[in-house]
């Protein structure tokens, strides 16, 4: 497992415990009481480290190579999954995986953004960066779900829509804009779950729904910290400062009303206990669907519209300029 910078002291402590254990029967021998004391200190160290993470350290957790990806969630929360392909206009975009799934006995249209897990699959998936046909594919599947009255789940995990020339030539901005409009009108429950990076229009193009959930160490932002630092300070090395300024962590977005629920991750991140993470995600999906299915189609669409209309906060400087009589 790849070790993140903030976890190095934890790793060293664990190694020291293992070394002491391996000397059992020699000059140094650990009693059960001493071992319990060391394990207790280890847990205290983990609690201290993981409770004081910076915004940038949480971005590193979000990008950890062992973090569960959309395909992992699909395979582990679905009892059945039938993958569907293509946008019926240009080609199939491997950065989007979608199809009919059964979760907890309920049928869903499950659509996820997939980055890949190694060099070959990441190249194939274009690192999770969607082309226009990826957004059109997602929209095609969403309309199919609406036709058969099947609820929809979107799993978001992308560093952004693909910015290449070919994507622009095929209408990248138009494809995202169409999705924003059309997803607002899809008359079936839509559940959004941010499982990794939710960056820019690439995420928002599949992020319009009735309820938005977010894993604890995921982030949801108009731009990546590196991109923000490059624009504001002309220096990508200030990414940590940008991560703080963007307020893109789950608790910030919950406060702003952008997300509706934060799903706790195992200590240190989802990659430390994927099974627990899959169970938590499945519980969130079923719980939200049980609420959404009670609303009529008309109420569902109106609530969705009002949800996104009410996002955002505005502040106004209350100081007023003094104008003299002579002016």
pLDDT for the residue numbered 7: 87
What are the 10-residue block averages of pLDDT along the chain, 327 residues in total? 84 82 58 79 87 93 96 96 96 97 96 96 96 98 97 97 95 96 97 96 95 96 94 94 94 93 95 96 97 96 94 68 48
**Would you call 305 helix, strand, or coil by DSSP?**
helix
Q: What is the pTM of this model?
A: 0.90
End-to-end CA distance of the chain: 70
128, 116 Cβ separation under 8 angstroms? yes
Domains of the chain: 1-19+31-52 (no CATH), 65-309 (3.90.226.10)
User: In terms of Cα–Cα distance, which of 194, 265, 218 is closest to 59?
Assistant: 218
Query: Residue 319's pLDDT is what?
Result: 58
114-137 b/e (C-beta count within 10 Å ≥ 16 → b): bbbeeeeeeeebbbbbbbbbbbbb
User: Which tokens hold the place of 172?
Assistant: 């990248």
């Amino acid at each position: 497992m790849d070790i993140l910078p903030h976890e190095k002291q934890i790793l060293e402590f664990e190694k020291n415990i293992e070394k002491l254990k391996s000397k059992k029967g020699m000059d140094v021998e650990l009693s059960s009481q001493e071992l319990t004391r060391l394990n207790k200190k280890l847990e205290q160290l983990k609690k201290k480290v993981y409770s004081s993470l910076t915004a940038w350290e949480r971005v590193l957790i979000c990008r950890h190579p062992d973090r569960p990806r959309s395909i992992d969630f699909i395979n582990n929360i679905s009892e059945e999954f039938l993958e569907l392909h293509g946008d019926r206009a240009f080609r199939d975009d491997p950065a989007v995986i979608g199809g009919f799934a059964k979760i907890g006995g309920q049928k869903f249209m499950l659509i996820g953004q997939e980055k890949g897990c190694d060099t070959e699959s990441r190249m194939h998936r274009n690192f999770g960066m969607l082309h226009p046909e990826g957004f059109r594919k997602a929209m095609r599947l969403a309309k199919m779900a609406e036709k058969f009255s099947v609820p929809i789940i979107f799993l978001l995990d992308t560093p952004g829509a693909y910015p290449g020339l070919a994507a622009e030539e095929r209408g990248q901005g138009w494809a995202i804009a169409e999705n924003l409009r059309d997803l607002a009108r899809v008359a079936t429950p839509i559940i959004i779950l941010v499982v990794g990076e939710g960056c820019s229009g690439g995420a928002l193009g599949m992020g319009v729904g009735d309820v938005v959930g977010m894993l604890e160490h995921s982030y949801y932002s108009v731009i990546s910290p590196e991109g923000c630092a490059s624009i504001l300070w002309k220096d990508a090395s200030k990414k940590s400062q940008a991560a703080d300024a963007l307020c893109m962590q789950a608790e910030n977005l919950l406060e702003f009303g952008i997300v509706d629920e934060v799903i706790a991750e195992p200590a240190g991140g989802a990659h430390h206990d994927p099974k627990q993470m899959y169970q938590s995600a499945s519980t969130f999906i079923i719980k939200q669907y049980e609420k959404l299915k009670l609303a009529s189609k008309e109420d569902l669409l109106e609530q969705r519209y009002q949800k996104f209309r009410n996002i955002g906060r505005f502040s106004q400087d209350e100081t007023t300029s003094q104008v003299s009589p002579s002016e």
